[in-house]
Amino acid sequence: MDTSGSAGHPDLLLERRGPVTVLTVNRPDRLNALSRDTLQQIGRAVDAFTADPAQRALVVTGAGEKSFVAGADIAELAEVAARGAAATEEFARAGQSVMDRIERSAKPVIAAVNGFALGGGCELALACHLRIASTHAQLGLPEVGLGTIPGYGGTQRLSRLVGLGRATELVVTGRRVPADEALAIGLVGSVVPQAALLDAAVTLALAILRNGPLAVAAALEVMREGVGRPLGAGLELERRRFGALADSADMQEGLRAFLGKRPAEFQGR
């Protein structure tokens, strides 16, 4: 286990567990709320993770047991909103950019939701490829109670994940979803006790990493890019990526290993 320094990331804790990076938002005095600076730090940390070939999966969580990320920094949002529409749109664009970089990662990103994931915190979890929640987690997009709407991708990603009807109800009421309901509607993939949460997320990451990295990256891309397309266009995208993998050493190794009844040794090429 290697804990990296926080130079340039004062609001984050970065820890390496073998090939898995654990990124912890560390503002417990503010319930890990996302300021603009914290978002920029997350973006830089994600970029560094993406560029590091030794780090192959990312787990995102929050410090403490009360909050994953409780939302945006409301005092900061109020200051931006007072400057008008253009400034507020740019505020959203900056947050969306960070969420997009997480979602578009070719390496798996898992949210370990350890408490309140509200507003921007829920949007951060939605941008991750997979979500695991602790038993006392609560997720929600309460922005309408502030007279606004989610601005970091929540209206779009939530509807794609749980369906338009259910997402509409959650967004326009702003209600919080407890962990058991989040599991039932597909907002999270599993619920575990708080004490087991981080280990469960890392275990899931390691299970993914036993598979071919090119195949995992292709699967993430095809599902992300295909979801908004007509079925025929999505099938074409799938077919092209399926064919392209045949030229990789990894696919040839995977097939040989299966036929030879041995573990595959993937090289990512």
**What CATH number corresponds to the domain at position 220?**
1.10.12.10
The domain containing residue 42 runs over which residues?
2-209
Percent of the chain clearing pLDDT 70 (strictly above) = 97
Q: Evaluate whether residue 49 is within a structural domain.
A: yes
Same domain for 109 and 93: yes
Q: Is 251 in the same domain as 144?
A: no
Give me the pLDDT at residue 5, please.
44
Domain total for the chain?
2
**267 falls within a domain:** no
In a domain, 269, yes or no: no
Average pLDDT over residues 118-147: 97
| Claim to verify: residue 160 and residue 27 sit in the same structural domain | yes
For residue 224, is it within any domain?
yes
| Tens of pLDDT, residues 73-93 | 889 999 999 999 999 999 999
Residue-level pLDDT at 7: 60
- pLDDT confidence of residue 228: 83
Residue-wise pLDDT for 248-264, tens only, equals: 999 999 999 999 999 99
pLDDT at 105: 96
**Catalytic site residues?**
123, 143
For the stretch 218-233, pLDDT in tens is 999 999 999 889 999 9
15-25 core/surface letters (b: 16 or more CB in 10 A; e: else): bbbeebbbbbb
The whole-angstrom separation of Cα 47 and Cα 41 is 10
Q: Is the domain of 181 the same as that of 217?
A: no
Q: Are residues 182 and 224 in the same domain?
A: no
Whether 264 maps to a domain, the answer reads no
pLDDT of residue 6: 56
Nearest to 61 by CA among 107, 26, 9, 103: 26
205 and 245 belong to one structural domain: no
Dihedral sign computed on CA atoms, order 225, 107, 138, 199: positive
Residues 6 or more apart whose CB falls under 8 angstroms from that of 256 comprise none
The stretch 179-195 carries a mean pLDDT of 97
